[in-house]
């Protein structure tokens, strides 16, 4: 079955590429039955990484994604997006657009409390949102480095999940919301009858300015194998927009690190600054975009439990980590280009390299 999915994905990518070869404007649009419209596109990202904590540097194919968008009418549509390399479905939902104030998605989608994870990687010059440093794996409960992106993703606050989503803008566009009800187990089947809820309320005081507050009430199994509620809440400030001059995104979040133990908590903060600069005088480079990320996160070690739910050992103390990521993106045409990042990680819990490690990443982005 996996081989068949890979062959189907390869055929879809090839067909889309052939379509783009004759349609320079972008993804291929196909007329489907009953007057529906289907648009096929894809993305390929190839990455090189070298780390101070790992003696091996390597090239890898980071993403091979195929996206199929369909529209039945102005109010009914849907999307299927899958990872052609890993033969897994990411987005798969039916979208009902009643009005700008109410759009509903039913299926599997990115839960995404924070807009940092909701933003398409086509627009984001940050190569790894979790700021991973290969060879470093010590952040309690979630592994790898202690960062905003790592904690929110591994704890399931910003992952793909099946369920129902409602979003919209009202009040003349000055207020917006996004609410989800999902299994709370990522793309896996649920383990109990409870469901995870998350919501984001946004205020737009001026053009290209947004202030949001978000809340999640997750459910998981505690050490006694009973369903336990794990809250998380935070805020987000955004000034500017993607690929349009200066852009600032600030996030703060705190909550329960249920992966480290029933009583473990975490706090995370991140600041991301971008500056997209078009180069109209250049024939080969369309734009450049320098960026800088600062991320700080702290989490408790909590308690470790064995398979029966009994306490195996308890470790006292917290771990905090800081990530600084300077980067630079060069755009050749549209969203296609090359990005370079250096993730520099410091933590008191690192005993080697004077409490710091770094990772250099270079990634080529191709979208069609």
SS (H, E, C) 164-181: EEEEEEECCCCEEEEEEE
Q: Which range has highest mean pLDDT (183-187, 224-228, 336-340)?
A: 336-340
Token pair recorded at residue 73: 């009418």
Q: How confident is the model at residue 88 (pLDDT cuts 50, 70, 90)?
A: confident
Query: At residue 23, does pLDDT exceed 90?
Result: no
Q: Would you call 120 exposed, middle or buried from its count of C-beta atoms within 10 A (0-12, 13-18, 19+)?
A: exposed
Residues near 357 by beta carbon (within 8 Å), at least 6 away in sequence: 51, 52, 53, 133, 135, 136, 345, 350
Q: Determine the 3-state secondary structure of 3 from DSSP.
A: helix
C-alpha span between 263 and 316 (Å, rounded): 12
Please compute the mean of the pLDDT values over residues 236-261 and round it to a whole number.
93
pLDDT digits (tens, 9 = 90+) for 286-316: 999 999 999 999 998 655 443 344 443 344 4
Condensed to tens digits (0 to 9), the pLDDT of residues 198-236 reads: 999 999 999 999 999 999 998 877 666 777 788 999 999
- Residue 13 pLDDT > 50: no
> Residue 149's closest CA among 141, 157, 160, 138?
157
105-to-75, 162, 214, 224, 317 alpha-carbon distances in Å: 12, 10, 19, 35, 42
Go through the chain and tell me how many residues it has. 368
pLDDT over 90 (residue 186): no
The candidate with the shortest Cα–Cα distance to 113, out of 19, 223, 215, 7, is 215
pTM of the model: 0.84
**For the chain, what is the largest distance between any 2 Cα atoms, rounded to a whole number of angstroms?**
66
Closest by CA to 110, choosing from 147, 144, 81, is 81
CB distance 133 to 144 below 8 Å: yes
User: Which CATH number does the domain 43-61+121-367 belong to among 1.10.3720.10, 2.40.160.10, 3.50.50.60, 3.40.30.10?
Assistant: 2.40.160.10
* Structural element, H or E, at residue 260: none
Q: How many Å apart are CA 200 and CA 209, to the nearest integer?
A: 16
């Amino acid at each position: 079955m996996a081989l068949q999915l890979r062959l189907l994905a390869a055929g879809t990518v090839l067909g889309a590429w052939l379509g783009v070869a004759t349609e320079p404007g972008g993804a291929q649009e196909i007329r489907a039955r009953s007057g529906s419209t289907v648009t096929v596109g894809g993305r390929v990202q190839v990455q090189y990484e070298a780390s101070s904590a790992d003696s091996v540097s390597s090239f890898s194919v980071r993403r091979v994604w195929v996206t199929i968008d369909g529209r039945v009418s102005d109010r009914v549509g849907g999307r299927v997006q899958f990872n052609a390399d890993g033969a897994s479905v990411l987005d798969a939902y039916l979208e009902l657009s009643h009005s700008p104030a109410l759009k509903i998605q039913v299926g599997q989608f990115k839960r995404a409390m924070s807009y940092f994870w909701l933003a398409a990687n086509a627009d984001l010059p940050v190569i790894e949102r979790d700021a991973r440093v290969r060879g470093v794996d010590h952040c309690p409960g979630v592994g790898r480095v202690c960062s905003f992106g790592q904690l929110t993703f591994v704890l399931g606050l910003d992952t793909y999940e099946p369920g129902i989503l409602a979003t919209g803008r009202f009040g003349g566009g000055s207020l917006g919301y996004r609410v989800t009800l999902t299994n709370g187990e990522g793309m896996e089947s649920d383990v109990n009858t409870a469901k995870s809820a998350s919501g984001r309320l946004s205020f737009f005081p001026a053009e290209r300015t947004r202030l949001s507050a978000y809340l999640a009430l997750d459910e998981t199994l505690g050490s006694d194998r009973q369903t336990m509620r794990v809250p998380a809440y935070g805020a987000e400030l955004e000034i500017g927009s993607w690929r349009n001059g200066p852009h600032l995104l600030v996030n703060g979040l705190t909550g329960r690190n249920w992966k480290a133990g029933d009583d473990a908590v975490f706090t995370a903060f991140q600041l991301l600054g971008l500056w997209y600069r078009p180069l109209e005088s250049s024939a080969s480079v369309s734009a450049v975009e320098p960026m800088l990320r600062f991320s700080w996160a702290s989490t408790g070690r909590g308690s470790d439990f064995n398979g029966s739910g009994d306490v195996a050992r308890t470790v006292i103390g917290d771990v905090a980590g800081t990530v600084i990521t300077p980067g630079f993106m060069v755009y050749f045409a549209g969203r296609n280009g090359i990005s370079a990042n250096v993730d520099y990680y410091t933590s008191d819990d690192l005993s080697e390299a004077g409490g710091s490690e770094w990772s250099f990443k270079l990634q080529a982005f191709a979208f069609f």
